[in-house]
Structure 1
């Protein structure tokens, strides 16, 4: 998030829709550690701390299987941090800061449902549990 309360979204090079920085947890890695690693790999920002906002359970859907999606808040980035963003072009084609309402048409269906609830959790200083994005 920036000083204008716009969220940072990324356009993965291998997907048709926009997303948020993140990825898969590796063996013997915590979700928080995975978040910090993925943000560093994808956009070059070395976050020191993140705040847990949400866990979203998705039931087995054939090929994808069941999953748990963890969402963390990386804080508000300063201008000096924003200018240090460096994309891993193999993974991320571009990034932008955008108002949440303007981001929704660009996101996957599940993230489109999940993200506003995560921002409500941030505003209310709580963590939430979801199933299937809702």
Structure 2
């Protein structure tokens, strides 16, 4: 692949050109079926570390648990572009995201429909990058770097499993598929 193919970073113009190149969309084989098909939410986050290997967790103002940087993918936005946008909005950082570590399915829970949770390698931050973190005060109460054992009591159990699985993927060099934070084969 060329550098251009690898580094589009969710560029809407690139996708628009790709859609034009694909030609007319296929017709519905059964009129009205597209509107009746299920939709899933998608979220994208980054597994970001410090020089000691601890994971960056953010403290959202709107929920009682820690999260990793990231958030919901908007309509017509790629998960990769959403991850870049969310990290920039939440932390004021322009990171170079690495490979996909994990795709994790999450079941419907209360008012929240089932979703796919993607975690990308957010890399290791330098001391200068850490000093430059500027948390969005409306959305975040702060941030901290923690090892997984220290973070676990402050995470939902499914999030703790998901982050641990993404960390395992990082160390193994593989990408994993999980279901509610548990490895699935």
TM-score when scaled to structure 1?
0.95
1:65 maps to which of 83, 95, 113: 113
Give CA deviations for 1:23-80 in whole Å, capped at 9, x if unaligned: 1001111111100100000011111233210011123335211100011111000011
Q: Which residue of 1 aligns with 2:168?
A: 120
Q: Which residue of 1 aligns with 2:53?
A: 5
Q: Which residue of 2 aligns with 1:48?
A: 96
Quote the Cα distance in structure 1 between the aligned partners of 2:162 and 2:114: 17
Mapping of residues 1-134 of structure 1, within 5 Å: 1-134=49-182
Report which stretch shifted further, 101-110 or 82-91: 101-110
How much has 1:110 moved relative to structure 2?
1.1
Considering Cα pairs closer than 8 Å and 6+ residues apart, tell me whether 1 or 2 has the greater RCO. Answer: 1
SS at match of 1:38: helix
The Cα RMSD (Å) is 1.0
Aligned residues: 134
Name the larger-Rg structure: 2
Contact 1:19 1:108 in 2 (8 A): no
Quote the Cα distance in structure 2 between the aligned partners of 1:100 and 1:132: 17
Q: Which runs of 4+ in 1 moved over 4 A?
A: none
